[in-house]
Amino acid sequence: MSDFIRLLPDNVANQIAAGEVVQRPASVVKELLENAVDAGATDIKLIVKDAGRSLIQLIDNGRGMSPSDARMSFERHATSKIQTANDLFNLHTNGFRGEALASIAAIAHVVLRTKTAGDELATEIRINGGEFISEQVVAGPVGSSFEVKNLFYNIPARRNFLKSNSIETRHIIDAFQRVAFTYPKIAFSFEHNGSEVFKLPAGSSKQWNSNTRQRVVNIMGKSTNEKLVPIHEETDILSIKGFITKPSFAKKKKGEQFFFVNNRFIKSPYLHHAVINAYDGLLNQGSHPSYFLYLDVPKNSVDINIHPTKTEIKFDNERDLYAIIRSTIKHSLGQYNVVPSLDFERDASLDTPYSYKDRAYVTNPVIEIDQGFNPFKEKGNTKFNKERSAKNLQWEALYLSDNPENELIENITVDMDNVTQDLFDEAQEAAALKTFQVQAKFIASSIKSGMVLIDQHAAHQRILYEEYLAKVTMEGLGHQQLLFPLKVSISKNDVMIIEQIRQDLNSAGFHISEIQEEALVLDSIPSAIAEKEVLGIIESLIENFRNEVPESSFSQVDLITKSLAKSLAIKPGTSLNNREQENLLNKLFSCKEPNYSPFGKKTFITLSLNDLEEKFNLE
């Protein structure tokens, strides 16, 4: 009988490993950035074309590699970061598995140029799809330059599963930001298709707090500075520092939330819950705070090797960390509530306005009163009483006729008639009542087969969605011209999304006159919304497109109408009178798809007579 088990060729094994390590272009960016940081670089430049499909190039001024190290770096499980298994529990670096470069070279065309300070010339190595092509000596500076071209060229199925360029670009931006946030003393720059996206200078201050704050502001935008509240706490098991945002600046989107553990970005729903719990009672429903939290824990108390991307980690004492994070944030928020000016960089000279700052103290203010005035004595102050009477006659003459008593009686009679009529109308309406509201969330109504229970929020979303979609696609949603242009603040990351959907926003009634570096200027908005709602709707639109921007123009319009419907639909807890309830019910069942909201949630359920009888017959 022949044998069936055999060893895989190296190129096949590397392609399989690449499936775990390199999921998309952003995975390559992450690995190359972390290697550059571990190499001691102080200046790192990222160049990307076509969202990483055509080119990902990373240039650093780190220590570089010798010719033999350069060749060895592309071998599987070759690494300078660890030597024994115990080193996995005492890590001081980012990449350590030794799979990244081998996996990347297996699915792309790779060119490496590297040079150490002790070498006269640089080494250039070319590898295509895991196959060694050439090695030669070239001129070059100290450091390393990686060029990754034609990613997934030999795995077309994986290439076809990549999302649109806009989505892949945002994943690259996320990977870039996570490393840039962690190392504020390193200069980073990012160029996409020839345009500069970020240019982040290295922090020059000796204080970690100042450097990190400046890095956060440079990435998220200048308007972020006033929103930040610093936090700091030192314990035996945890050191936590960083920034949270004030509750008044909470946003509809969840994207600006970052945890870093021992200089490594992580995702932890459990610790995220601790942060949200600390804001209990301070946020509006559906709002999310931003935070940039840096945790230092003993290296032997955390396992970062449980996931290929190393973004999910396991703590030995999660409960204790939860309690410390929650109490630390609560303390900082408490300080902010007591002392609103927690921004220590404020200009203290502005505390006292204008020229009063240096004005000398003169005397107490003097209150003058009429000592002889007695309101219960008609003749106590003749002059004052005469003046008061004259003034009273002036305004009373505007309202009283020649016969004020009769007019007063007539007014009372009219008011009583109105009250009687209102009560009569209410009694008639109650007699013809067809619907009623349950806990200001649901609308119940009787039908032939039993009863129907409607979710008013989901139902109104469906109604608005179909109305807006019909208007936008056929004639455009109506808009209202603003007397003064409205400026809406956005982050640098969101400008790219706004530029992409600008034409569709115009069809929806958002007329953008100017797109600035960190703001939009609107000269008109949809007729259905108020100015105070614009910021929340724009944030919702950006968040929706951040997560699922399709290629077709119709789908972009569809997302806009969904966002408008979600933002403008009546909220749970809104009381509706009988006419509003019936109007909602009638409009829902006039929709093309009344069964579900635009987001797939049921709008109503029915209970048959048999269902109701079974409920009562249960023992």
Per DSSP, 201 falls in state: P
Q: Which of 278-282, 353-357, 597-601 has the lowest mean pLDDT?
A: 353-357
Task: Name the more confident of 172 and 6.
Answer: 172
Q: Diameter of the chain by CA atoms?
A: 130
Residue 424 has which token pair?
Answer: 């009569």
**Correct CATH for 10-200 of 3.30.230.70, 1.10.645.10, 3.30.565.10, 3.10.440.10:** 3.30.565.10
**Structure-token match 């004259």, residue found:** 390
pLDDT for the residue numbered 555: 62
Task: Name the more confident of 479 and 112.
Answer: 112
Per DSSP, 300 falls in state: G
pLDDT for the residue numbered 325: 93
**Structure-token match 């390393």, residue found:** 144
Superfamily of domain covering 451-588: MutL, C-terminal domain, regulatory subdomain (3.30.1370.100)
Average pLDDT taken over every residue of the chain: 78
Determine the average pLDDT of the residues in 408-426. 45
**pLDDT higher than 70, residue 131:** yes
The rounded distance, in Å, linking the Cα atoms of 515 and 568 is 25
What DSSP line would sit under 176-187, residue for residue?
Answer: HHHHHHH-TTSE
Residue 514 has which token pair?
Answer: 């100017």
pLDDT for the residue numbered 96: 43
Q: Is the distance from CB of 65 to CB of 51 less than 8 angstroms?
A: no
Positive or negative CA dihedral for 288, 293, 298, 303? positive
Task: Name the more confident of 26 and 471.
Answer: 26
The rounded distance, in Å, linking the Cα atoms of 599 and 548 is 13
Pick the closest to residue 525 from 464, 478, 469 (CA basis): 478
How many Cβ atoms sit within 10 Å of the Cβ of residue 94? 21
How many Cβ atoms sit within 10 Å of the Cβ of residue 98? 18
Contacts of residue 557, defined as CB under 8 A and 6 or more positions apart, other chains included, come to: 469, 472, 473, 504, 507, 508
Residue 45's DSSP bridge partners are 59, 189
**Correct CATH for 215-338 of 3.40.50.300, 3.30.230.10, 3.20.20.120, 3.20.20.70:** 3.30.230.10
Which run of H or E residues covers position 265? strand 265-266
How many Cβ atoms sit within 10 Å of the Cβ of residue 486? 17
Pick the closest to residue 329 from 259, 242, 260 (CA basis): 242
Q: Which of 60-74, 277-291, 514-528 has the highest mean pLDDT?
A: 60-74
How many Cβ atoms sit within 10 Å of the Cβ of residue 239? 14
How does strand 257-261 pair with strand 291-296? Answer: parallel
| Domain residue ranges of the chain, discontinuous segments joined by + | 10-200, 215-338, 402-432, 451-588
* pLDDT tens by residue, 536-569: 778 777 776 766 544 444 566 777 788 778 878 8
Quick one: pLDDT band at residue 385, thresholds 50, 70, 90? low
The rounded distance, in Å, linking the Cα atoms of 107 and 197 is 27
Quick one: pLDDT band at residue 420, thresholds 50, 70, 90? very low
Contacts of residue 269, defined as CB under 8 A and 6 or more positions apart, other chains included, come to: none
Quick one: pLDDT band at residue 477, thresholds 50, 70, 90? low
* pLDDT tens by residue, 303-339: 665 555 556 777 888 889 999 999 999 988 887 653 4
CA distances in angstroms from 47 to 59, 175, 196, listed in the order given: 8, 13, 9
Contacts of residue 589, defined as CB under 8 A and 6 or more positions apart, other chains included, come to: none
pLDDT for the residue numbered 63: 92
pLDDT for the residue numbered 186: 96
The rounded distance, in Å, linking the Cα atoms of 153 and 580 is 59
Quick one: pLDDT band at residue 215, thresholds 50, 70, 90? very high
* pLDDT tens by residue, 444-475: 888 878 888 899 999 999 998 888 888 777 76
**pLDDT higher than 60, residue 364:** yes
Q: Which of 198-202, 283-287, 554-558 has the lowest mean pLDDT?
A: 554-558
pLDDT for the residue numbered 514: 86
CA distances in angstroms from 79 to 37, 68, 101, 185, 493, listed in the order given: 15, 13, 10, 25, 34
pLDDT for the residue numbered 125: 95
The rounded distance, in Å, linking the Cα atoms of 311 and 103 is 19
Instruction: Count the alpha carbons within 13 Å of 177 in the hemisphere toward its beta carbon.
Output: 21
